[in-house]
């Protein structure tokens, strides 16, 4: 089973991750040998994972962040947070990735144990996951960062150099390729399979034609269009590769649209399994201890039961043979008193030889304890000659009683251990059901209108507003049609608002759209309670500026008649509505929200910090059964502080 990415894997994923160039670094998390970079991209949130010695890709499997960030985390956040990714590169064809953010470069070494190093603009080491020294380089603060000794790049190698490298090896061609061209055994084998050259053939024995075929096949493989897939063996994940490989021709496969998705599914599942194991490891160890204890207790219980039963039976046996046992006791006692123990023993031995019935019953003699052990109905019975028959029987009954008492205690301990074992098994079951320390962020594909602020009016019309200069520009240029209506607040920096198919809309929708325009403007953060807005037709809105003036990104001119609505209240409602088959948290004019849900929260400009307002809204929505992320609520609210004035529902 694959445990780390190859140079080929890194080449494909780095090429794919060029889409992240320009993304803003939001926050960085560090746990063990991996870091996770939370990015703000054009498509929304993305998480980039870099694990020393293992992997590098976008992930949806997110570990719970450590409560106390490490010093390495703090250094990375200090220098990288808020910056923009300028470049993502692979160093040569090596298992090394570079992420450049402004004047800093984060270097991920994915070979052997691996490392993660931050260097400044002068290539000096600012911080590293671990500091260490090697024969040819040192990873320590302020030292110049040096890459490991370079190996041959199969993408750049020329024909003559390739031939020289392969022919100087006195080993099988598959080993020569893997070793000299830095590609690993899998791809060396794949190249030879495609070229139909025996992988076990000595490199030095290859013909010019075979060498040329291998060279061309290698170049073709490493420039092949991606077809990412996870390879399964016996129903289990076996490998994850960026292209279709002939070596896995007869294996079951699952295909993905991007290699990063395939890597995430593969390594993410492995991470989840490890997290489950980690979470239950201590409980499983405790369970094993309890099972061992239970086994010992079961053996003890069996022993005490047998002791109690055996001693009870011997006691009963003495009384069942009362006359004979009493006669034997009397005879043995008199004989030992008259003859002494040595002579008594001698007479018993003689009696056995003569076939004396009483002598044959004797199994052992203990002069020290003044006891004789006889066999009675197949059981050995120890009789003390200085005690009466009743006292001898009582000794066995007492032993049986003590064994029963111990049995009761052992039984309680056994039941207690079983109870603890049941509790541990329930805890293990609960742990498996619990949300793991690693959770998967399920990302659905956003619909086109989610790029903007939006709501559905009380009359059912879709209303859109820009979020910033880029989305304002995009909204007017690409999404405003001739049948729409345009709205704008009489406030500097207010968003452009478009009512889709708005020329069919009634006064209620136009009022709501204009109210939305003033509420989503800077008038909200200024604490105003009302402002003016107008509506116009799409053909009145143009990028053509008055003579001598320039309109920046997101700015447009409106010519002709403006239809004004004065004194519009800055008041909105937040609720969860259903639209196009999905639920969305939406912030819009009260009447618009009210038309689509009977539970909503009315807000106005106020003194409560936006972050605290978001928390309070989230708690209310959770009480209503909606699990909504704070960042989703934050994205819908107007700019600035506010207050909750009423909760309906």
**Domain residues of the chain, as ranges?**
7-139, 301-397, 448-648
pLDDT digits (tens, 9 = 90+) for 99-146: 999 999 999 999 989 999 999 999 999 999 999 998 889 999 999 999
What does the pLDDT average to over 189-195?
95
pTM above 0.75, yes or no: no
pLDDT digits (tens, 9 = 90+) for 367-398: 999 999 999 999 999 999 999 999 999 999 99
Q: How far apart are CA 590 and CA 569, in angstroms?
A: 11
pLDDT digits (tens, 9 = 90+) for 167-186: 887 889 999 998 888 888 99
Q: Which CATH class is domain 7-139?
A: mainly beta
Q: Give me 78's structure tokens.
A: 């200090």
Q: How far apart are CA 51 and CA 251, in angstroms?
A: 28
- Look at residue 552 and tell me whether its pLDDT is greater than 90: no
Percent of the chain with pLDDT over 70: 97
What does the pLDDT average to over 156-172?
89
What does the pLDDT average to over 340-350?
92
pLDDT digits (tens, 9 = 90+) for 516-547: 999 999 999 999 999 999 999 999 999 888 87
Query: pLDDT: is 431 or 205 the higher one?
Result: 205
Confidence (pLDDT) at 612: 94
> Where do we find the tokens 């960042």?
631
What are the CA-CA distances from residue 293 to residues 410, 421, 426, 427, 460 (Å)? 12, 10, 19, 19, 69
Confidence (pLDDT) at 441: 62
Q: Give me 267's structure tokens.
A: 């390594």
What are the CA-CA distances from residue 592 to residues 453, 479, 507, 588 (Å)? 14, 22, 13, 6
> Where do we find the tokens 């890459």?
147
Q: How far apart are CA 389 and CA 391, in angstroms?
A: 5
């Amino acid at each position: 089973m694959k445990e780390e990415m190859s140079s080929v894997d890194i080449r494909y994923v780095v090429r794919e991750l060029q889409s992240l160039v320009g993304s803003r670094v939001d926050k960085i998390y560090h746990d063990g040998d991996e870091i996770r970079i939370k990015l703000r991209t054009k498509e929304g949130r993305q998480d980039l994972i870099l694990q020393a010695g293992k992997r590098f890709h976008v992930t949806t499997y997110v570990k719970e962040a450590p409560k106390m960030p490490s010093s390495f985390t703090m250094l990375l956040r200090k220098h990288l947070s808020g910056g923009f990714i300028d470049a993502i590169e692979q160093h040569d064809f090596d298992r090394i990735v570079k992420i450049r953010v402004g004047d800093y470069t984060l270097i991920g070494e994915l070979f052997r144990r691996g490392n993660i190093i931050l260097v400044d603009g002068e290539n000096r080491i600012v911080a590293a996951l671990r500091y260490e020294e090697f024969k040819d380089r040192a990873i320590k603060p302020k030292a110049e960062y040096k890459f490991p000794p370079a190996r041959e790049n199969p993408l750049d190698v020329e024909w003559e150099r390739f031939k020289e490298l392969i022919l100087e090896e006195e080993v099988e061609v598959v080993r020569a390729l893997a070793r000299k061209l830095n590609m690993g055994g899998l791809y060396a084998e794949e190249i030879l399979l495609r070229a139909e050259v025996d992988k076990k053939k000595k490199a030095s024995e290859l013909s010019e034609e075979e060498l040329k075929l291998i060279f061309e096949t290698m170049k073709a493989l490493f420039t092949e269009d991606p077809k990412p897939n996870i390879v399964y063996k016996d129903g289990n994940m076996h490998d994850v590769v960026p292209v279709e490989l002939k070596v896995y021709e007869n294996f079951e496969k699952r295909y993905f649209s991007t290699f990063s998705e395939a890597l995430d599914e593969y390594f993410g599942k492995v991470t989840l399994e490890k997290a489950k194991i980690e979470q239950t490891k201590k409980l499983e160890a405790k369970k094993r201890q309890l099972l061992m204890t239970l086994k010992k207790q079961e053996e003890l219980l069996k022993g005490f039961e047998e002791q109690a039963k055996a001693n009870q039976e011997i006691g009963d046996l003495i009384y069942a043979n009362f006359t004979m046992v009493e006669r034997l006791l009397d005879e043995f006692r008199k004989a030992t008193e008259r003859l002494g123990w040595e002579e008594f023993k001698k007479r018993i031995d003689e009696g056995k030889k003569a076939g004396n019935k009483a002598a044959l019953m004797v199994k052992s003699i203990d002069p020290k304890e003044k006891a004789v052990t006889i066999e009675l109905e197949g059981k050995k019975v120890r009789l003390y000659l200085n005690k009466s028959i009743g006292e001898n029987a009582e000794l066995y009954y007492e032993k049986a009683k003590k064994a029963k008492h111990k049995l009761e205690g052992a039984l309680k301990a056994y039941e207690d251990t079983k109870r603890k074992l049941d509790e541990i098994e329930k805890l293990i079951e609960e742990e498996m059901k619990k949300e793991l320390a690693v959770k998967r962020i399920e990302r659905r594909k956003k619909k086109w209108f989610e790029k903007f602020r939006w709501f559905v009016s009380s009359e059912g019309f879709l209303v859109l507003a820009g979020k910033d200069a880029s989305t304002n520009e995009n909204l007017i240029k690409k999404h405003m049609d001739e049948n729409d209506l345009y709205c704008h607040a009489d406030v500097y920096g207010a968003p452009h608002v478009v009512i889709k198919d708005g020329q069919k809309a009634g006064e209620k929708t136009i009022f709501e759209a204009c109210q939305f325009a003033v509420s989503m403007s800077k008038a909200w953060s200024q604490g105003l309670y009302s402002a003016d807005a107008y509506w116009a037709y799409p053909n009145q809105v143009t990028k053509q500026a008055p003579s001598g003036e320039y309109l920046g990104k997101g700015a447009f001119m409106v010519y002709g008649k403006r239809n004004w609505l004065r004194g519009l209240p800055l008041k909105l409602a937040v609720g969860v509505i259903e639209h196009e088959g999905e639920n969305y948290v939406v912030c819009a004019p009260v009447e618009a929200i009210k038309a689509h849900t009977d539970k909503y929260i009315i807000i106005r400009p106020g003194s409560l910090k936006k972050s605290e307002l978001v928390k309070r809204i989230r708690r209310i929505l959770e009480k209503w059964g909606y699990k909504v992320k704070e960042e989703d609520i934050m994205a819908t609210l107007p700019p600035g502080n506010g207050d909750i004035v009423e909760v309906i529902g």
